Amino acid sequence: MFDAETQQAFMQEFLSENREAMDRVERGLLLLESDPTNHEWLNSVFRDMHTVKGNCRMMEFTRLEELTHTAESLLHLLREGKLVLRPAISNRLLAVLDAVRRSLLSIEQTGSEGDEDFTAQILQMGQCHEEVERPREAGPEILLETHPSPDFVPESAPHGGEKETRSNRLDSVRISIERLDTLMNQIGEMGATFNQLKYAISHHPQQIDQSLEGLEQHLQKVQGEVLQYRLQPIGQILDSYHRLVRDLAIETGKKVLLELTGEETEVDRSILISIKEVLGHVIRNAIDHGLESPDVRVELGKSPVGHLRIGAEQKHGQVYLDISDDGKGIDLNKVRAKALAKHLITMEQALAMKEPDIMRLIMAPGFSTAEQVSKISGRGTGLDVVQTAIDKLGGTITITSEAGLGTLFRLRIPQTMAIVPVLLVKTSQETYAVPQVNIVELVSFYGDEVARNIEGKMRSPMVRVREQLLPLASLRQALAMPVAGVDTALDLEQLQAKLELHVVVLQSEESLFGLEVDAIQEPAHLVIKPMGHMLAHISILAGTAVLPDGSVSFLLNVPELIKC
Amino acid sequence: MDSKTALIVDDSSLARMMVRKIFSTRFPEWRLVEAKDGEEALAMDGIGPKIALLDFNMPGMNGIELAEKLMAKHPGLTVYLVTANIQERMQQKADSMGIGFIKKPIAEEKIVDLLAKLP
């Protein structure tokens, strides 16, 4: 398609550009021998190899293209940190370099790649690839298959057509034999301590306490070890949103750039599985309602491409997930008007509500309307499912938004949920567990103190704690009527007539409130299991746990309790 | 954006040379502006390109990062990534931004095709 003169010019450019690139590759490889993980050099060597490959393809030197392509793939693994540049790999790459140079010389002299066979070189580089499949350093590994309880399986695939490979990967864990050996050793020590305990019980009763303490320590070590195995990088689910964002962008005719940070943040696998779909809803919402169409954005002086950022960060055993867009933001007046029109709030409430409370209305059940359920918003679910799911995990959601600039959803979720520090309380002869993380303090009143510290305010009982009046909820009443909309106002006089009153002061989001219980028992660390299907609709309960005496207790869902 | 200006950004001088040749023989009415990387492309002022052909692997920013910046700078710009092979996730990222693809190596008929498709 080009005349001979043009072809000749291309050939000259091909030779000189590739030779310069090969010189830089050589220099880079030699520099990397003293600093094998230097990112800048790895990138530069990769790019030069990539350019040479592209040039070979353009000029249709197919065998040289295959050779440089294999070298490029190997350099890609090095660049991604999946392989480390050992002398053996470095030698192979230098050998490729020499072969490319010989071939370029042949092209210059004869116009053909020459008859050198690159098969052996390509196969050798292929062997390096296999090392990545079976890492050398980590030693042999065992793949453990686990079957999460049905409660943790997302009800449906997050998005049509998506291959669930990432999430499937969450169903199994790779453990190196070395780690398994550590676990086995710890179990061996536990066995020895158990034998000591048995012996102490029959022969040395004075040593029972010591043996029990030893057993407890080993138990905690094993627990800690197993919890570590359950942690997985959150990138495993975040990565899958590229596809979702792509599909949503095409469906809505918007342009979206998805940026991920903190993908390495580790979270318990069961939590990852249960937030996967939830996060999808937040993303849908951001693209559907937050980001403007490219035309509108340009008119506003914004980039036509909307930015959607998801960042994860771990702090004090909690994981913070920020989902932000640079769209139009949430119009609080519109939200208020819509909530009024849907009778979600009264005019009185509407006038009294503060900004964060109004913002929160977008997650109220019934807020997103049927006529608004577009193809995007999907199965007619609003953001209320997000609130419910995060509540169940014991997490929180805060929304901040600035008109014209965008919206930020900040989710706080526990990093691990298998073992939760709780306080056990008793009400109606049943034991309930309150997460320690929500507890501010415990207050008990006796005799006259009860009446003096309980007051009524607009028919609702309040409790005085440290000169501050806090709303008072009764656990008994909350459990009796878990249905929303039923009047659960406490009888003030009945409360004031009590001889003793026990209050757990709880914090949920910004608000403090008192929870009245029959008795306060001891703190404990409980292994929490998700609620079974039968009870899953009771929003004030977040999970179940087996108590030391073998009975079953329920974990209270504090953010839901305050709504009672 | 009435002027017919195309921007090509590729760190391979051979690739730029080929595109230049295709434009000069087949589309002499088009002005072709070249840059070897993103930084150089963004530093150009007063070019107002209608279409941009971007390499993916380049020094500094990659093709997608550059596309985002160019689209912000030149609203209405049609962007194509010119690439031999691309990871699925990068492909999805580009799709979500409304960026098209041309498979390497770039050839005359491919450019004819995409110029015909321009709005």
Q: Hey, is the C-beta of B24 within 8 angstroms of any chain A C-beta?
A: no
pLDDT for the residue A489: 54
Side chain identity at residue A78, one-letter code: L
Cis peptide leading into residue B105 (ω within 30°): yes
Q: Which of A230, A235, A388 is nearest to A321 (CA)?
A: A235
Separation of alpha carbons A449 and A110, rounded Å: 104
Which candidate from A2, A14, A250 shows the least CB-CB separation from B14?
A14
Structure confidence by residue, pLDDT tens digits, A53-99: 999 988 999 999 999 999 999 999 999 888 888 888 888 898 999 99
CB atoms within 10 A of CB A244: 20
Contact list in A for residue B104 (CB cut-off 8 A) is 54, 57-58
Structure confidence by residue, pLDDT tens digits, A25-46: 988 888 888 888 898 999 999 9
Structure confidence by residue, pLDDT tens digits, B26-78: 999 999 999 999 999 999 988 889 999 999 988 889 999 999 999 999 988 99
Beta carbons of B96 and A13 less than 8 Å apart: no
CB crowding A436-467: b at 16 or more within 10 Å, else e = eebbeeebebeeeebeebbeeeeeebbbbbee
Separation of alpha carbons B91 and A86, rounded Å: 32
Structure confidence by residue, pLDDT tens digits, A127-146: 877 776 554 444 444 555 44
Task: Tell me the two tokens of residue A133.
Answer: 């499949």
Burial class (CB in 10 A: 0-12, 13-18, 19+), A19: middle
Separation of alpha carbons A190 and A187, rounded Å: 5
Contact list in B for residue A248 (CB cut-off 8 A) is 96
Separation of alpha carbons A472 and A431, rounded Å: 20
Task: Tell me the two tokens of residue A560.
Answer: 């839901």
Beta carbons of A304 and B72 less than 8 Å apart: yes
Stretch 45-64 of chain B: residues touching chain A, C-beta under 8 Å:
57-59
Cα-to-chain-centroid distance, residue A531: 21
Cα-to-chain-centroid distance, residue A376: 23
CB crowding A310-342: b at 16 or more within 10 Å, else e = bbbebeeeebbbbbbbbbbbbebeebbebbeee
Beta carbons of B96 and A44 less than 8 Å apart: no
Task: Tell me the two tokens of residue A5.
Answer: 């003169």
Look at A185 and A491; give whichever has higher pLDDT: A185
Q: Give how far A292 is from chain B: nearest CA, Å.
A: 13
Contact list in A for residue B12 (CB cut-off 8 A) is 17, 51, 54-55
Q: What mean pLDDT do residues A484-510 have?
A: 76
Give the chain B residue whose CA is nearest to the CA of A53.
Answer: B84
Cα separation values, A476 from A348, A556, A561, Å? 29, 12, 11
Share of chain A above pLDDT 70, in %: 87
Q: Give how far A273 is from chain B: nearest CA, Å.
A: 21
**Chain A with chain B: Cβ pairs closer than 8 A:** 91
Contact list in B for residue A294 (CB cut-off 8 A) is 75, 98
Q: What mean pLDDT do residues A244-273 have?
A: 90
DSSP A103: H
Which candidate from A46, A58, A248 shows the least CB-CB separation from B15?
A58
Q: Hey, is the C-beta of B1 within 8 angstroms of any chain A C-beta?
A: no
Best mutation target among B37, B64, B96 (most A Cβ atoms within 10 Å) is B96
Look at A484 and B105; give whichever has higher pLDDT: B105
Burial class (CB in 10 A: 0-12, 13-18, 19+), A430: middle
CB crowding B6-38: b at 16 or more within 10 Å, else e = bbbbbbbbbbbbbbebbbeeebeebbbebbbbb
Least confident of A26-35, A265-274, A474-483: A474-483
Beta carbons of B105 and A54 less than 8 Å apart: yes
Contact list in A for residue B84 (CB cut-off 8 A) is 53-54, 57
Q: Which of A535, A532, A455 is nearest to A495 (CA)?
A: A455
Separation of alpha carbons A23 and A48, rounded Å: 10
Strand-strand pairing, A468-474 and A511-517: parallel
Global ipTM? 0.83
Separation of alpha carbons B51 and B36, rounded Å: 16
Please state the pTM of the whole predicted model: 0.62
Which candidate from A44, A51, A250 shows the least CB-CB separation from B12?
A51
pLDDT for the residue A142: 52
Separation of alpha carbons A512 and A465, rounded Å: 11
Q: Helix A241-252 crosses helix A269-285 at what angle (to 10 degrees)?
A: 10
Q: Give how far A217 is from chain B: nearest CA, Å.
A: 45
Cα torsion through A526, A195, A211, A421, rounded to 10 = -10
Separation of alpha carbons A545 and A530, rounded Å: 9
Structure confidence by residue, pLDDT tens digits, A506-560: 988 778 999 999 999 988 888 777 666 666 677 788 888 888 777 888 989 888 8
Quick check: A476 pLDDT over 70?
Answer: yes
Which candidate from A1, A10, A242 shows the least CB-CB separation from B92?
A242
Structure confidence by residue, pLDDT tens digits, A296-315: 999 999 999 999 999 999 88
